[in-house]
Amino acid sequence: MKIHASLPIADGICFDDTAEMAPRSINALAACGVVFLTSFRADDGRIFGGVIIAPHLDAAQAAADRRRLGETVLGPLAVAGVA
């Protein structure tokens, strides 16, 4: 697996749907419960975190599966300052 040195790209696949989005926009989406955190392990053992925007958990896992990076959806992104 080849990981880009400075971008969230593995084997030519972007693993962060929020890349280059403003934090305010990400928080707005997270408040709607549509931003999910993922993780996957590269061939060299390093663990990377990803982000998927999807309407619900099952859709997020389906999107992760389509990326074919071995991602696991960890759960929704919590909005800063919200319990």
Torsion of CA 9, 35, 76, 48, to 10 degrees: 10
Report the pLDDT value the prediction gives residue 62, as an integer from 0 to 100: 98
Residue carrying structure tokens 């934090």: 23
Mean pLDDT, consecutive 10-residue stretches, the chain (83 aa), reads 96 97 94 97 96 98 97 92 56
